[in-house]
Amino acid sequence: MTRRHQRMLAVSGILIGIAVAAFFALSAFQKNLLYFYTPSQVAAGEAPKGYPFRVGGLVVPGSVKRDAGSLKVRFEVTDGPASVAVTYSGILPDLFREGQGIISIGQLNQDGVFEATEVLAKHDENYMPPEIADTVKHGADGKPVLDYQAWQPK
């Protein structure tokens, strides 16, 4: 095999590889990108219905209600101006607490309740998911809307 043949083979191999990978990547992107919406955006009707996305905010103190006989739980998340009701069935993460920043993944049902399939809270007391931190910082009037520190568990 001559050098030129080798090089052409290598180049075409790489091109085919990139094309195949790009195809898989783009089709996977299409299906698996999860967009983030704030509770305000959900309240304003900007979030899609019947399509999965992520919503995040602080768990409203006093809003967590557990079902007596099962693992169902219902709570509200807020970004200050608005809040959205979330239902979830299963075990909540270790750091799920009232006043703590969380992100949930799921879909909106017809009643405007967010049915979560997954609830995430990071393993760090001071961690606020960046989306929430941004949301909270850039409140409508430009001032911090939520006094996050005041909600820290004592």
Which residues would be at the binding site for other proteins (CB under 8 A)?
Answer: 1-3, 5-6, 9-10, 13-14, 17-18, 20-21, 24-25, 27-29, 31-36, 54, 66, 68-71, 90-92, 94-95, 123-125, 127, 130-131, 133-134, 153
Q: Which amino acid is at 41?
A: Q
| Closest CB 148 distance from other proteins, rounded Å | 15
For residue 113, the tally of other CB atoms under 10 A from its CB is: 15
Tally the C-alpha atoms within 13 A of residue 111's C-alpha that lie toward its C-beta. 5
Report the SS3 class of residue 87. strand
Nearer to other proteins, 19 or 49 (CB): 19
**CB distance 66 to 51 below 8 Å:** no
CB of 74 to other proteins, least distance (A): 15
**Residue 142 CB, nearest approach to other proteins (Å):** 17
